[in-house]
Amino acid sequence: MTLDSLQLLFFKNYEAAALQFAPGLNCFIGDNGSGKTNLLDAIHYLSLTKSALTAVDANSIKQGADFFVVKGKFSAGEGTDAETIQVSLRQGQKKTLTHNKQHYERMADHIGRYPAVLVSPYDTDLIREGSEERRKYFDSLLSQYDHGFLDVLMAYNALLRQRNALLKQAADRPAHGFDRDYLLAIDDQLVPLGTGLSQQRAAFLERFTPIFQQHYQQLADGREEVSLTYKSQLLDTDFDQLLRQNERRDLVMQRTTTGAHRDDFVFLMDGLPVKSYASQGQQKSYAIALKLAQFEILTSRLTTAGTGAAKPLLLLDDIFDRLDDKRIARLLELVADDTFGQVFLTDTNLARTDRALANVRGDIRRFRVQGGTAAQL
Ligand SMILES: Nc1ncnc2c1ncn2[C@@H]1O[C@H](COP(=O)(O)OP(=O)(O)O)[C@@H](O)[C@H]1O
Ligand SMILES: [Mg+2]
């Protein structure tokens, strides 16, 4: 699957833009603040229906405008029909997503169909931030990998919201008593969903970890041993039992204090936490290896799903700034040897980009990005 063209209206710092892409490598070159990352974010919208940078979609509407449109034409190769994906948002209204002008019944049905992997300067946040960031990352990855997982996750989260609302209501209105039967009825449904989520995450990590380790070794060429472990109470204690044990605490805290929403993914280097033990360079490699492993595992899923040689889009934001020459060379080897499909990368310096890509064969297209405009060079 390649993205053949992108059209923007009032998206971030773009008023109107139209770009035609090469099926191989596309480079966005421009100064800081010119709008390079915003182009990658527009592609992220097409793939995942949301921004990689902000949780508030309205932030993506150009200042002073009252709507944005991001439209992309995908194709699966010569002789196939183009597929048009459009995401739009009008101020104060719900975001809409269409595929060939048809609305999806559920926006979630889109997830995983046009996968993209973003390698960004913010990736190391995954290492530095709390467990929620990591859970979100792996849940999003798993949702693209296996649609059934996303269904279970959404059902679990909806029940969890109901449960927490009930706990809060019990605290806010003590005189009305507490509807324990309702709580138990919610828990009856929550238990299998939560247990399923934890089991699926654990099984996924077993497949993912060796791929990740291999990418780390290739990229970092170090002797350090990296690993990923998954921590969930639900794997060794029955979820129902945990909910009963913590019922009183949950009532006091007014929220559900155990469950799959509390699981964590632990990043280790030589058995120690990456966050405190690894150097900055090692942390960057760790984060990029996660993304490359994500790319590989999503590619394997697309291949087994029978969509031919489809590969996720790869979005590389400011990689030349962040990696030393040796690591860049290793990454570009992967670009050169057809490991990747269509690639979009950003850089501030055209000469540096051209130098780095001197040995990369195939169709390379460069765009000059300047103050919210993008023109092919
Ligand atoms: N909603 C918005 N309206 C107008 N400008 C925006 C909006 N969101 C972001 N921007 C602007 O986009 C610019 C950053 O673009 P970005 O793509 O991150 O630049 P870079 O080329 O450095 O990657 C900033 O100047 C920022 O103010
Ligand atoms: Mg940027």
Domains and CATH numbers, the chain: 1-115+312-377 (3.40.50.300)
- Across residues 194-215, what is the average pLDDT? 96
Closest residue by CA, ligand 1 atom 2: 12
Q: Which helix (H) or strand (E) holds 230?
A: strand 226-231
Residue 259 assigned to a binding site? no
pLDDT at site 112: 85
Instruction: Indicate if the pLDDT at residue 306 is higher than 70.
Output: no
CA–centroid distance, residue 34 to ligand 1 (Å): 7
- pLDDT digits over 319-366, tens only? 888 777 788 888 888 777 778 889 999 999 999 888 888 878 778 999
Alpha-carbon gap, residue 169 to 138, rounded angstroms: 32
Q: Relative to the CA of 13, which ligand 1 atom is closest? A: 5
197-210 burial string, b = 16+ CB within 10 Å, else e? Answer: bbebbbebbeebbe
- Across residues 274-293, what is the average pLDDT? 93
Q: Relative to the CA of 64, which ligand 1 atom is closest? A: 3
Which of residues 171 and 122 earns the better pLDDT score? 122
Instruction: Indicate if the pLDDT at residue 77 is higher than 80.
Output: no
Instruction: Count CB neighbours of 172 within 10 A.
Output: 9
What are residue 200's phi and psi, to 5 degrees?
A: -65, -40
Distances (CA, A) of 202 to 120, 130, 206, 274: 26, 19, 6, 20
Q: Is 372 in the pocket of ligand 1 (CB under 6 A)?
A: no
Closest residue by CA, ligand 1 atom 9: 12
Strands 67-75 and 2-11: antiparallel
Most confident of 75-89, 230-244, 293-307: 230-244
Instruction: Indicate if the pLDDT at residue 14 is higher than 60.
Output: yes
Q: Is 110 in the pocket of ligand 1 (CB under 6 A)?
A: no
Length of the chain: 377
Residue 34 assigned to a binding site? yes
Which of residues 94 and 356 earns the better pLDDT score? 94
CA–centroid distance, residue 357 to ligand 1 (Å): 26
> Which distant-in-sequence residues (6+ apart) come within 8 Å of 285 by Cβ?
216, 219, 220, 222, 327
Alpha-carbon gap, residue 296 to 341, rounded angstroms: 11
Q: Which ligand has its closest atom nearest to the C-alpha of 122?
A: 2
Residue 31 assigned to a binding site? yes
Q: Relative to the CA of 32, which ligand 1 atom is closest? A: 22
Going by C-alpha positions, the residue among 127, 37, 21 that lies closest to residue 316 is 37
Instruction: Count CB neighbours of 219 within 10 A.
Output: 20
Percent of the chain with pLDDT over 90: 75
CA–centroid distance, residue 344 to ligand 2 (Å): 13
Q: Which two tokens stand for residue 270?
A: 């030589």
Alpha helices, DSSP H, located in 49-130: 125-128
Q: In the sheet where 102-103 sits, what is the strand order? A: 14-20, 2-11, 67-75, 83-90, 96-99, 102-103
Alpha-carbon gap, residue 58 to 247, rounded angstroms: 38
- How many alpha carbons lie under 13 Å from residue 13 in its C-beta half-sphere? 15
pLDDT at site 281: 87
Burial class (CB in 10 A: 0-12, 13-18, 19+), 68: buried
- Across residues 51-68, what is the average pLDDT? 96
Residue 73 assigned to a binding site? no
Residue 36 assigned to a binding site? yes
Q: Is 303 in the pocket of ligand 1 (CB under 6 A)?
A: no
pLDDT at site 215: 92
pLDDT at site 320: 84
